[in-house]
Amino acid sequence: MTIYIGREASKLWKRVCAETSTEIQLLVENWKYILAGLIFQYIHGLAARGVHYIHRPGPVLQDAGFFLLPELGQERAYLSETVFTFIFVSFVLWTLHPFFVKSKKIYTVLIWCRVLAFLVACQTLRIFTFYSTQLPGPNYHCREGSKLATLPRPDNVFEVLLINFPQGVLYGCGDLIFSSHMIFSLVFIRTYNKYGTRRWIKQFYWMLAVIQSLLIIAARKHYSVDVVVAWYTVNLVVFFVDKKLPELPDRSSGSILLPLSGKDKDSWTKEENHKLLNGNSAELADWRPRNQINGKIMEDANTVHADATVNGV
């Protein structure tokens, strides 16, 4: 038993090391997109903090969702956050599964480049929307009489830039249309729906999205319009942005595309130039298929077999 555990632990460690090496190479090539996406998350938080300064509490607006769904109350307002946290954490863990699971379909770095692109597009629309019209917040800390409903004028610019994390994020007001929680949830769910492999998890995720929508309204954290607009806006944005982005390579078959190394490119250039001088045509290809077996990159099996036959082996 001990020998088996040790053997499996050794295989897992080799898998983690091989995947880490691959992901680091991808991160070196795509770090600008990752960094830009993370910086925009701060910009989005800064914008939400800014609109809190101009928020003016008032009577809660008439809302069909408030009429149909009973109010949860402050003591049970955590339920919507619990569902959101589960969706968030489970999706993050899924994006990390290539490091630990033998059968994999995605690259962690590339999937997060795609997710951040979706988030940036949706959050940009959200910033323009909630700055266009400020509605009186329906949440308990945003109503008339609450000390958190309005923010005093900041003493210095650093007070604004630091956005009073995490209290400033948890107790914000004014950034209503459309729901940021629904942006994250729907982007994550649509991404898993495309690249995930478990059908029951996809169905479970969509069910959680509906439950979260109802809980957000029942907890009076958003008006119904904030949730409804998020449903069709996020889905449309993800659909059109996804069409513009290059498709991710599928790792499920075990075959991946890797660029030629510098040494290979030099030898390829000399060989092809020689063919051109002799009047032979050459196929211009900067990429060639390679197979990944046990964390090692190997040339296509047919090519290796052909070379062995030529050499008389």
> Which string of b and e fits 262-274 if b means at least 16 CB within 10 Å?
eeeeeebeeeeee
Q: 33-41 long-range CB contacts below 8 Å, 24 or more apart?
A: 33/113, 33/116, 33/117, 34/109, 34/112, 34/113, 34/116, 36/116, 36/120, 37/112, 37/113, 37/116, 37/117, 37/119, 37/120, 38/116, 40/116, 40/119, 40/120, 40/123, 41/119, 41/123
CA distances from 259 to 98, 116, 281, 285 (A): 21, 25, 22, 10
163 C-beta neighbours (distance < 10 Å), count: 19
Residue 264 bears catalytic tag: no
| Catalytic residue, candidates 44, 52, 55, 181 | 181
At 148, the amino acid letter reads L
Q: Of residues 226, 242, 305, 307, which has the active-site annotation? A: 226
226 is catalytic: yes
Q: Which member of 222, 242, 274, 307 is catalytic?
A: 222
Indicate which residues carry an active-site annotation. Answer: 181, 222, 226
